[in-house]
Structure 1
């Protein structure tokens, strides 16, 4: 008797996930099975005069200056995510919804069937370039939970109050960029970021981290990127999703009731210019669809902590701390990261 399928939500990772350890992983994990799709991605890059995915993934060594740049990172991350998604064993897992973090929303569009896998690459590749269309500025990551991933009382509110105060100063731009549950990504211009670093209260775990190569994503400073995207990427690329997609507001785009033009407008408007609430998207997904597992495709597995912290934030299935999450993972894993070999083996179809 065949075991019953498990229901799963799939969460697509964003920038910063294809690192030194992932170099060569696209060819190694997918080169034989998805050669035709990789060739399509390569052809799209070649037509734009860009180094191909195969060339970048096959580089002799990882280069921070090259591989972390938006126009290189985005297509590599998208390729790894999409091909991992296509590798999920559908006899074991019924994918009931998809979500993504920041750039991972472009991947989620393809995983959810709102655009084709090939057009998803076109969007991610174009946005890798477009994401560099902004004024001076960037992102800073700050931790707001303790070592057991419980919120430090009052810290989030203090930080957001400081952000609002700095943003109100002449010549200073600062705003919430991404809510990662246990961490906040704040973005702004150089004056705003400098003031934040000078005035931020002590935060646990790590010092505030300036994210290398990142612009002031998910703020009005990205208006040039939004305008360029809407001019270059037509609404005709979009259709209704085949499965529900949860966006950066926690809104669920459902099959049959989603307007493709509205989805296009959100993707290249609000999604670029306003905060991305990743924690809320995960919390809505698990509450709405009650999955047996959450699958995190590659590249890497750095988003696993943020997913766990989002679950802890609502005490999902009684998980209210890092210790409880670790114990649950050991006994009956709820989060399956395809970037980890032992968990990947539980998710992928046998060749």
Structure 2
């Protein structure tokens, strides 16, 4: 049996190629119907209708009140397909919104409570839509760590954020990428003053608010008013949060978990890179399994492992060589990989 840390993706992972993902992979029809009923009662389009649409719409499918539920359901469905007779899940973590999914996968929230949390927070963020996000790399395309470059970029972020009427801060430390968030003035200043890279960076993210910054304080306040601490319970699996802290089964205070989830996690930077470093060093798994939808988080996981100097990997070539000889990363969003760890499709 192999040990694994499961990683839940966040916003931006349900894209055009994922249309129909729930129809293909979500096996619990009764649970999906319950999610649909909950959304219908709120006057929202059901997940089944969104997932079964004839075509993908950026305007519709990337909205927080739609994307969050779709990604959560896809993640939970994938998590449940992992063959626990072959895979011993030793911990769960996630990126940004994926933290809510991780809570449900680890058992700190029921499937229904997890959906309530993610749908509520996604809706509140969409209603407020405070600020925005962009992404920019601090590693080159070879994925070789460049600490000085990261330091320079963060100094630029701090300088812009200190200007009058400018807000700019680190939203997510995402492997070789910096996800920055702020108001329009702050984002535009960074875009104007940092040389473009790789033909697409810095890249503004559509329908994304200034997640994980103080600008989200009103959203956090509304979330705490709507979501009871009673929804949270002891996790059944260790949970690694956006600070790299571990919430252990049997000794977790559920109210503290609620407080972190609807407090720090919403308004402070999310250090995904450190969460993966802790996952690697604390749990030393044989595999890192990234659930769907999509497969874009795999690169950030690999970059985070390189930055942690895990098993001597120091570049993209090192990672690719290891993947070919003894894979350490499995993306369930990739059809050729999911069968290596899921039920009924062992290879």
| Alignment correspondent of 1:284 | 278
In the TM superposition, 1:130-141 aligns within 5 A as 130-134=124-128, 136-141=130-135
| Alignment correspondent of 2:215 | 221
Deviation at 1:134, TM superposition (A): 3.9
In the TM superposition, 1:46-125 aligns within 5 A as 46-125=40-119
Contact 1:146 1:204 in 2 (8 A): no
**1:341 equivalent in alignment to 2:335:** yes
Partner secondary structure for residue 49 of structure 1 = coil
Deviation at 1:132, TM superposition (A): 2.2
Partner secondary structure for residue 154 of structure 1 = helix
Partner secondary structure for residue 339 of structure 2 = helix
Q: 2: CA distance between counterparts of 1:203 and 1:271? A: 30
What is the TM-score with the length of structure 2 in the denominator?
A: 0.97
Gaps of 5+ in 2: none
Deviation at 1:347, TM superposition (A): 1.3
Partner secondary structure for residue 132 of structure 1 = helix
Q: 1: CA distance between counterparts of 2:127 and 2:133? A: 15
| Alignment correspondent of 1:15 | 11
* Cα RMSD (Å): 1.3
What is the TM-score with the length of structure 1 in the denominator?
A: 0.96
Partner secondary structure for residue 108 of structure 2 = coil
Q: 1: CA distance between counterparts of 2:307 and 2:200? A: 20
Gaps of 5+ in 1: none
**1:152 equivalent in alignment to 2:146:** yes
Partner secondary structure for residue 346 of structure 1 = coil
| Alignment correspondent of 2:287 | 293
Q: 1:336 to 1:210 in 2, by over 3 A?
A: same
Contact 1:235 1:264 in 2 (8 A): yes
**1:192 equivalent in alignment to 2:190:** no
In the TM superposition, 1:304-343 aligns within 5 A as 304-343=298-337
In the TM superposition, 1:222-241 aligns within 5 A as 222-241=216-235
